[in-house]
Structure 1
Amino acid sequence: MAFKFISVAVAAIPVASALSLTTRATCSSAVESCSSGADSSSISSCCVNKPGGQFLQTQFWDTDPVTGPNDSWTIHGLWPDNCDGTFDENCDSSREYNDITTILQNNGKSSLVSYMQDYWQSNSESPEQFWEHEWSTHGTCVSTLDPDCYPNYKEGQEAADYFQVAVDLFKSLDTYSALSAAGITPSSSKTYTSSQIQAALQKVTGKVAVISCSNNELYQVYYGFFVNGPLTNADFVPSTIGKSQQTIRA
């Protein structure tokens, strides 16, 4: 069943603590993306995400056809937007990998593949095709995942880092449980107001996220974040999302 809504405003959910991922070149300090400090030319784009310093973590609730578990939203992607509300896509054609599964397995992430097969699905193409699209379209635009940022770079390891961070962030944003705790559950007849949704989710961080609806049915949620230091730090700071970023994207 779908979530039916009268309006489309919602708040973000808190994020997880930092991760321990691939060894990277050392940065002197963790600078928050989109801050005044991040603008300095002395700060390497390997040490702070720029210009794509605001990240949108997007989630699906698919009903046509039904995709993913019946008690959880699923991952759409993790998108780096520029700090002015614009965004870049498909930033490096040389790294448009066509076998994400093998890349993850070669980097010791077989369990991550298993999780993604359940929680990172498309309702219109294979999981592998979906992952390839998300990486080439969005992952290649993350400055701190550039191969030059790795001291002993091996092809594909930056993609493995991207998917690990995206999944771990998703796990910290349990949209279904947050709504369910307030009695907001999928229904073919019930509707919910924006104030009900905000009351359920703004208790967590107070940061407003964005909802996408189709035919008055909720199908997507966007959460905004800045990041302290490289993306692999996974040190996310919840942020609001500007109106210019609230566009239909894939």
Structure 2
Amino acid sequence: MGAKGLLILKLLMFQGLFISHSQYADFDFFYLVLQWPGAYCDTNRSCCYPTSGKPAADFGIHGLWPYYVDGLYPSHCSPDSKFNQSQISDLVSSLKTKWPTLSCPSNEGFKLWEQEWKEHGTCSESVMNQHDYFEKTLKLRDRVNLLQILTNSGIKPDDGFYDLQSIKDAIKQEIGFTPGIECNKDPELNNQLHRIYLCVDTSGTEFIGCPALPKERCSSILQFSKF
């Protein structure tokens, strides 16, 4: 590049007009949302196991959601981008294990995956296609074993009650970043550990410190329900 080209590049960078590839995304980061099935089923809502049977007692994927730093998020960004089962045929076995449906009536899971693609995945099409979206989410799930992390810290799904800060600290110690925690209430109105939010860069490959955390609405002591 000649002197004139370098000068133009510097001017563009100064004006904020030259951006890296990762900044082309129409959002600021992802939430990888992992869900404890016991808490989902232990509410007043109905819970049905997939047609493949009861999922493992482990954190399953709820979704990979694009977000903005101000707490807002894009959704249903491309109605013309239809969910295509054939594009994820090689991933279905892993999806059934790690991204299981618990909605009723009992089904294979395609309704859940279609919903996640339509609402959230289509908003990430600037950086990944449908197959990439599901494959990258599965790979992120494989990189963090939340159940093992918590169990190693003495926090077990035994219907016992545990300190919210201890849950956060155990996860931060392992992955290096503070997670977001979402709670729900069971029929007895106990606060339960329901979902854990981990932040991911716009490429969908690396965990990062959360630019923003979801509102927790949790008590300081949570129940970790059985499943």
Same fold (TM over 0.5): yes
For residues 47 and 143 of structure 1, do their structure 2 counterparts lie closer, same or farther at Cα, with a shift above 3 Å needed?
farther
Choose which of 174, 190, 196 in structure 2 pairs with 1:204.
174
8 Å contact from structure 1 (residues 208, 241) kept in 2: no
- Greater relative contact order (Cα 8 A, min sep 6): structure 1 or 2? 1
Partner in structure 1 of residue 102 of structure 2: 123
Alpha-carbon contact 1:73-1:176 (below 8 Å) kept:
yes
Q: Please report how far the alpha carbon of residue 47 of structure 1 lies from its aligned counterpart in structure 2 after TM superposition.
A: 4.4
What is the alpha-carbon distance in structure 2 between the residues aligned to residue 247 and residue 51 of structure 1?
26
Deviation at 1:169, TM superposition (A): 0.6
Higher helix proportion: 2
Flag the structure with larger Rg. Answer: 2
Residue in structure 2 matching 1:173, options 144, 152, 177: 144
Q: Partners in 2 of 1:54 and 1:134 — Cα distance?
A: 16
After TM superposition, the structure 1 stretch with the greater mean CA deviation from structure 2, 117-126 or 60-69, is 60-69
TM-score for both structures, normalised by structure 2: 0.72
Aligned-partner Cα distance in 2 for 1:103–1:143: 14
Amino acid at match of 1:246: K
Task: Measure the CA separation in 1 of the matches of 2:68 and 2:125.
Answer: 11
Aligned residue-pair number = 184
**CA–CA separation in structure 2 for the residues paired with 1:40 and 1:78:** 29
Matches within 5 A, 1:66-105: 68-70=55-57, 72-97=58-83, 99-100=84-85, 102-105=86-89
Percent identity between the two aligned chains: 23
Aligned position for 2:165: 195
- Structure 2 segments unaligned to the other structure (5+ residues): 1-12, 42-46, 186-190, 218-227
How far did 1:239 drift? 1.4
CA distance in 2, matches of 1:191, 1:122: 26
Deviation per CA, 1:197-238, whole angstroms, max 9, x where unpaired? Answer: 1332221244211111112111111111224xx44xx2x141
Residue 55 in structure 1 maps to residue 39 in structure 2:
no
Aligned to 2:194: 219
Please, what TM-score do these two structures have when normalized by structure 1? 0.66
Return 5+ residue gaps in structure 1 as ranges: 1-36, 147-157
